[in-house]
Amino acid sequence: MKDADAGTVHREFVKGNEAICHGALAAGCRHYFGYPITPQNDIPEYMSTHMAAHGGVFLQAESEVATINMLLGAAAAGKRVMTSSSGPGISLMQEGISYMAGSELPAVIVNISRSGPGLGGIAPSQGDYFQAVKGGGHGGCRIPVLAPHSVQEMYELTMHAFELADRYRTPVMILGDAIIGQMKEPYTPGLCEPPGPIDKPWATTGCAGRPRQHVKSLYLKDDDIERHNWKLHEKLQRIEKAEVRAESYHLEDARIVLVAFGTAARVCKTAIQWARKEGIAAGMIRPVTLFPFPKTLVHETAGKADLLLVVEMNTGQMVEDVMISTSHHDKVRFMGKPCAMPTPDDILAEIRLLAGKTS
């Protein structure tokens, strides 16, 4: 499709990492804390250059442990806050993320993920799916996870993340990867509305004119902690009901349905275009929210399609959520490539195989 609006709409050509910064600033984030790690250094570097001009605070912490706790503090003070990191740093943040989930503090945490485990490497990877989606922190902590697949979405979903964070009083994670962070492509700023200002009467801003209040996750008395857990659970259920997002790509008539997110989904789109040229009815479900997972869409689609092919840049993680979503386990296939981009040719070959074609 030729971009018909190209002449009239203002398009910027930036890295995905930079689009995240644009989204955060547009959403009113004025407090950024971070620590260097490849492949997300463009984010702290951009913030260090531009935050002051927006009247905000950029601070490089001495570690990710400190970073996430600075975030906790500024969020408790009622500010829109963000940090970004990659695997090793996100692991160090898990303690603080759990405390923030327990204390019901809004914040946006960006993971431009790389290969692991351990120091791993800087190659792109989707190996952090479980950590992000199943709650990397202790004590049953779970937070919404958004998975952008384009520079446009890096911008838009960052804004959306701030909105979700404030609305549900929860940390929200953006799960990108090295490809989507490092690549540049045109994007159109201003296509979606930034979240408006929101009242935070719970914030610890000094008790002038009101009784003192606390931001905390410790509940020792009676059955307070049980009640607190049920409350958090009820919140997650509301999120699951209202906040699922997924893209349906050529789903209407699809016999072979790919399920993929983020960068892997981009490659799948190319493979699907090629497959359709060969007369194979392929399509895709692309979860945009990884938690909450688009269970219903997956279940309904599994009922209609011949096969589901889950494609991930790891050895098989989201495929478990696909299995949980549907009882048609016999229809689910998996194709994984840990720590590298699958090529469209690889995926097309798999689609052909599943379609019983050997062209």
Ligand X SMILES: Cc1ncc(C[n+]2csc(CCOP(=O)(O)OP(=O)(O)O)c2C)c(N)n1
Q: Which residues bind ligand X (CB under 6 A)?
A: 35-37, 64, 88-89, 92
Which phi and psi (to 5°) does residue 286 adopt? -115, 100
CB of 3 to other proteins, least distance (A): 5
Site string for other proteins, 121-150 (x = CB under 8 A): -x----------------------------
- Nearest alpha-carbon partner for 285 in 46, 305, 67, 157: 305
Site string for other proteins, 277-306 (x = CB under 8 A): xx----------------------------
Tokens 């964070």 correspond to 165
**Which residues have a Cβ under 8 Å from the Cβ of 353 and sit 6 or more positions away?**
none
CB of 41 to ligand X, least distance (A): 9
Q: Is 1 a binder of other proteins (CB under 8 A)?
A: yes
- Contact by Cβ (8 Å): 174, 27: no
- Contact by Cβ (8 Å): 90, 127: no
- Nearest alpha-carbon partner for 27 in 143, 157, 117: 157
Which region, judged by CB under 8 A, interacts with other proteins, from 158-166, 190-198, 308-316, 343-351? 343-351
Q: Is 49 a binder of other proteins (CB under 8 A)?
A: yes
Q: Which residue, 165 or 257, has its beta carbon nearer to other proteins?
A: 257
Q: Which residue, 118 or 211, has its beta carbon nearer to other proteins?
A: 118
- Nearest alpha-carbon partner for 286 in 126, 171, 91: 126
Which of 95, 100, 106, 184 is in the footprint of other proteins by CB under 8 A?
184
Which of 269, 286, 331, 337 is in the footprint of other proteins by CB under 8 A?
269
Distance between CA atoms of 345 and 301, rounded to whole angstroms?
25
Q: Which residue, 90 or 313, has its beta carbon nearer to ligand X?
A: 90
Which of 175, 178, 297, 298 is in the footprint of other proteins by CB under 8 A?
178
Q: 153 is written with which tokens?
A: 């979405």
Distance between CA atoms of 91 and 296, rounded to whole angstroms?
31
Binding partner at 3 among ligand X, other proteins, none, C-beta below 5 to 8 Å by kind: other proteins
Q: Which residue, 36 or 190, has its beta carbon nearer to ligand X?
A: 36
Within 10 angstroms of residue 253's Cβ, the number of other Cβ atoms is 11
Q: How far is CA 233 from the centre of its chain?
A: 20
Q: Is 344 a binder of other proteins (CB under 8 A)?
A: yes
Binding partner at 182 among ligand X, other proteins, none, C-beta below 5 to 8 Å by kind: other proteins
Q: Which residue, 89 or 102, has its beta carbon nearer to ligand X?
A: 89
Which of 44, 136, 148, 287 is in the footprint of other proteins by CB under 8 A?
44
- Contact by Cβ (8 Å): 244, 237: no
Q: Is 229 a binder of other proteins (CB under 8 A)?
A: no
Q: Which residue, 121 or 189, has its beta carbon nearer to ligand X?
A: 121
- Contact by Cβ (8 Å): 62, 148: no
Q: What contacts 24+ positions apart, CB below 8 Å, involve 134-140?
A: 135/98, 136/90, 136/91, 136/94, 136/97, 137/94, 137/95, 137/97, 137/98, 137/99, 137/101, 138/94, 138/95, 138/98, 139/98, 139/102, 140/229, 140/232
Binding site for other proteins (CB under 8 A): 1-3, 6-7, 11, 13, 35-39, 41, 44-45, 48-49, 52, 58-60, 62-65, 88, 118-119, 122, 178-179, 182-186, 266-271, 273-274, 277-278, 341, 343-345, 348
